[in-house]
Amino acid sequence: MPSLFDPITLRGHTVRNRIWLAPMCQYAVEARDGIPTDWHLVHLGARATGGFGLVMTEAAAVTAEGRISPQDVGIWTDEQAAAWSRIVDFLHAHGAAAGTQLAHAGRKASEFSPWRGEGSVPEADGGWVTSGPSAVAYQGLAVPHELNVEEIGEIVDAFVAAARRAESAGFDVVEIHGAHGYLLHQFLSPLANLRTDAYGGSFENRVRLLLEVVDAVRVVWPEDKPLLVRLSATDWVEGGWTAEETVEVSALLAAHGVDLVDVSSGGLDARQQISVGPGYQVPFARDVRAKAEVATGAVGLITDPAQAQGILDDGDADVVLLARAALREPAWPLRAAHELGVPAKEAPYPPNYARGAWRS
């Protein structure tokens, strides 16, 4: 059977296959209270019935100020956790593992969501003052407040509280968002981090906050549940965060209790020059897996079942994560099973959809 449909066990949790849904913002919270809605139930639930092994939520903000936009979901209140619990129950009922991505947007917070405008949302319109490692703005956005050491500690505490709420909601996996130009990535990159204290300058200082968050979350996140980190392997800008640094920090993450590194790239600087093509980020996942000796997930223009299977066959990654392809096709894993010749009884069809496995 194609290894795409082999289960994978991380710590004490087994996921039914290696086709995972990548986190994708939906900007669907109209009340601005961070509470997931029926949209999220239907969006995520459709991917569970569509056969994905792990269904990951979009970035869930660990504080109100950590949202990318006013329409983002969060996990900073018990009410939000209760709403997530309903969704998690549905995912579990249909065979999928449930994961959530814990995030803080930093200087890229308080943005207009894509179809509602551009730039930073004014405070008068529901926006807020953003924060970051340094008072350096992302292009087109407001200059952030530079976090002091006490405020950095409060953010670590917020990640811990969010992880506890994720556990109370029943999530099987949490992923710490250290990619795409958001707060933890901002601390990693010398393009956004100009600090001269213990959180800036050297590699060891720039990775300090990420490791502090990982250590603190690992303490409260159940020992038998996997902890993931998403990284941008490179900023695609000279003088920025590099692929070599990604390998180095990935080895540290593994030593600190991280079970899989979800390898993406970019998002830190608008000057990025990305060479885009099918599977263009897969080599980064391959390098991290081989050199840091940690399990990896590959993402980025993975659209074809044979292509996805080839990534596993070549040892480039342990799982593949789909984003835009999954937006177009919620049941992509079921098509993959059909095209790759997976026996009907081994394919992730819910009973209601079992006729889809018939080859007539």
- Identify the active-site residue in 27, 138, 182, 349: 182
Contact in structure between 218 and 260 (CB atoms under 8 Å): no
Both tokens of 154, joined, read: 């409060």
CA atoms within 13 A of residue 349's CA, in its CB half-sphere: 19
Residue in 36, 133, 42, 132 with CA at minimum distance from that of residue 76:
36
Nearest by Cα to 276 from 294, 255, 299, 304: 299
Active site residue 199: no
Give long-range contacts, CB 8 A cutoff, 24+ apart: 155-158: 155/62, 155/63, 155/66, 155/104, 155/183, 155/209, 155/213, 156/209, 156/212, 156/213, 156/216, 157/216, 158/62, 158/63, 158/66, 158/76, 158/104
Residue of 27, 33, 37 lying closest to 72 (CA atoms): 27
Give me the active site residues, please: 182
